Amino acid sequence: MKRKLLLLSFILVFTGAFAQENLLEKNKWSLDKAQNWYASQEWITGANFNPSTAINQLEMWQESTFDIETIDRELGYAESIGFNTMRVYLHSLAYKADPEGFKKRIDTYLGIADKHGIKTIFVFFDDVWGKSPKTGKQPEPIPGTHNSGWVQDPGDPASKEEKNFPTLEIYIKDILKTLANDKRVLMWDLYNEPGNSGKLTTSMPLLQSVFEWARAINPSQPLTVGLWRWDFQELNTFQAQNSDILTYHQYEGPEEHQLTINMLKTHGRPMICTEYMARTNNSRFSNILPILKEENIGAINWGLVAGKSNTKYAWNTPIKDGGEPDEWFHEVFRKDGSPYRQDEVELIKKLNDSKSDTSNNEKE
């Protein structure tokens, strides 16, 4: 009897694993589908967007601090330079606290973005910065400190504890079902920088699960998880094998960026760089954006408007009095809409104004 029970247990586990693998493979986009989808888009350019009045994802999305006026104004700045895509982080705790209200606020945001001709890449989970997210009033920024209040989702150790997965599955599937055919959503970025903050491969179970949950819904939009740390072989392999469109982060200069592009081209899938532009790392609009345009790779820089996230300050180099850095790390605009650098916005506008000349449709 004991042997029979062990055999049955093995069969059930094996069958379940096979079904999950089959689902991941069955609903993954073919190369042709991915290439046809990408060919139907304008050249994808934009920024990672968090309104200047929000220190983190929770302050953006909670009802008491959801700032429609600022979102509208700042997406107008993006529209003015030809940006057509924003990458925006959600947060599972905002959903857990108020599922219907959260979904209504997402719809409101999408309506504002659509008015400005902007589509959205939504991000679900995140392994970066604060380990203990909490709903309610968020902390004030630490002067001169990069992303002092940004929080992980679902957090650490929360992301490693599989007892949390059923609740997270409900969240992911509800949002995906709600927006599965919404043309205002360009793509789903299921997990930002898995393995960051020292988590390494402990992020693999949640990474695998979120792909399985998303493939079960099978939305009309592509799924992705961006590559970001090139020595994370196990995570990178899974991310690349399961993404419909390849996305990646690269904050180094043009030579290193081109090497990354050349490496990822071997997969044969369309590409979007979903994080770049860190001026003091020599990742600039002037030397990276023309490469991405020439290579027909989507370009989503970090940061739009300087604000409570403090990402005009560089990583790990705080200015304790909160004074102006010698050179901004991220961001394009000041709060009043004036550009940090006029030459940069002129370049962005020039490349975006000419995108119809080298559109994906015309390249087909």
| Max Cα distance, the chain (Å) | 77
**The two three-digit tokens of residue 124, written as one number:** 């679900």
Q: Is the pLDDT of residue 70 over 50?
A: yes
Residue 186 is given by DSSP the state E
Average pLDDT over residues 53-81: 98
pLDDT band with cut points at 50, 70 and 90 for residue 21: low
Instruction: Tell me if residue 42 falls in helix, strand or coil.
Output: coil
In this prediction, residue 7 carries a pLDDT of 39
pLDDT band with cut points at 50, 70 and 90 for residue 275: very high
Q: Is the pLDDT of residue 363 over 60?
A: no
Residue 131 is given by DSSP the state S
> How does the average pLDDT of the chain come out, rounded?
93
Closest Cα partner for 215 from 21, 47, 66, 50? Answer: 21
Q: Is the pLDDT of residue 320 over 50?
A: yes
What contacts 300, CB < 8 A, 6 or more positions away? 44, 45, 46, 47, 48, 85, 87, 121, 272, 273, 274, 275, 276
Cα torsion 68, 72, 77, 81 to 10°: value is 140
Domains defined along the chain, listed by start = 35-363 (3.20.20.80)
Please give the model's pTM, rounded to 2 decimal places. 0.92
What contacts 248, CB < 8 A, 6 or more positions away? 226, 227, 228, 260, 264, 271, 273, 274
Closest Cα partner for 235 from 192, 271, 187? Answer: 192
Average pLDDT over residues 96-116: 98
**The two three-digit tokens of residue 184, written as one number:** 């205002």
Rounded CA-CA distance 85/121 in Å is 7
Q: Is the pLDDT of residue 358 over 80?
A: no
Cα torsion 64, 67, 69, 74 to 10°: value is 170
Q: Is the pLDDT of residue 263 over 90?
A: yes
Q: What is the tens place of the pLDDT at every residue in 181-233?
A: 999 999 999 999 999 999 999 999 999 999 999 999 999 999 999 999 999 99
Q: What is the DSSP string of 193-238?
A: STTTTTTGGGGHHHHHHHHHHHHHH--SS-EE--B--TT-HHHHHH
